[in-house]
Amino acid sequence: MITRRINCVRTSDADNERLISSDTRRLDFWLFWAAGLSASVGLYLSILGFHAGPDILHPVAYLCVSTALATTMALVAATAPRKADLPVAPICEGLLNGSLNLRRILCRLVVALTAGAVGAYAVFAYARLLTRWMGDAFPPTRHFLPSARSFVCGAIIEEIAFRAVVFSLLALAMKLASAHLLPQTKATPIWIANVLQALIFGGAHLLVGMNILTGMPWYVRVTLAPQTWVGLLNGCIYWSYGIESAMACHATTDLLLSAIMRGSVPAL
């Protein structure tokens, strides 16, 4: 009788944990879906605006594609990080679940904003160093987005895509590979996934037209690209504090770097 009661209690606890986990994943999905779709729409409106008329099919098609991408990214971002032992959205989850620790949240945001500011100045100094070292191999061809809203929307989309999706999938793959190849090792080599996602992040920026270090091998360009090192920094923030802090760090870096390039903020 006692054994039966113990088994019933264990079964009940397991069911409760499964229910809580399912509710949390559902919450994470809608958070990522709403954030990704809203940022995509905001980015479109910031750059192109909205004009009803004969070209109404263009924004409609963009909205359909953005919805599909937001849904796909949300499905992955709501499941893969937990399986890879990575944080998801601790600030939003704590806010909605009523378990928000304000002091801890403020500390995380301060660290993220500080890292973003340091990253902006470091990228600017790094770009000037490469320019002096390699001459015109680092031309100032980066076209910055026109408004702060564009930077924020871009940071949200890129963090969901590269940190919550790419980083999480790579970390999950590393975890599974480590469990099969090195079963005696308990620690998952997440840092390898962080380095890989940073290289993918930098390579993606090269593919969309970032014309730096022309004439050099692609692997040198990807390794030396400032976005690779920014991606590594954002990956560390995401790994430690979650996606909200990574978004704050990314947006701070882009906003300050734009201001520095335009002369609004004195460069170090």
Residue 252 is encoded by which pair of tokens?
């701070």
Q: How far is CA 114 from CA 1, 111, 117, 149, 191, in A?
A: 59, 5, 5, 20, 22
H helix runs in the chain, sequence order: 2-47, 57-77, 80-83, 90-97, 102-134, 148-158, 168-181, 190-207, 218-224, 226-241, 243-262
CA–chain centroid gap for 129, Å, is 27
Rg (CA), the chain: 21
Domain spans, the chain:
25-262
Residue 57 is encoded by which pair of tokens?
């099919």
pLDDT, tens only, 209-234 = 555 666 666 667 777 778 889 999 99
DSSP annotation of 164 reads I
Mean pLDDT, rounded, for 123-147: 64
- Tokens 């990956």 correspond to 235
pLDDT given at position 142: 47
pLDDT given at position 31: 87
Question: 0.85 cut: is pTM over it?
Answer: no
Written as one letter, the residue type at 147 is: S
Contact 267, 121 (CB under 8 A): yes
pLDDT, tens only, 79-133 = 999 888 898 888 887 777 777 788 888 899 999 999 999 999 888 888 777 777 7
Neighbours of 48 (CB within 10 A): 11
Contact 156, 39 (CB under 8 A): yes
Residue 251 is encoded by which pair of tokens?
């947006």
Question: What is the distance in angstroms between the CA of the first residue and the CA of the last residue of the chain?
Answer: 73
Handedness of CA 85, 86, 89, 95 (dihedral sign): positive
H helix runs in 78-189, sequence order: 80-83, 90-97, 102-134, 148-158, 168-181
State the chain's mean pLDDT as an integer.
78
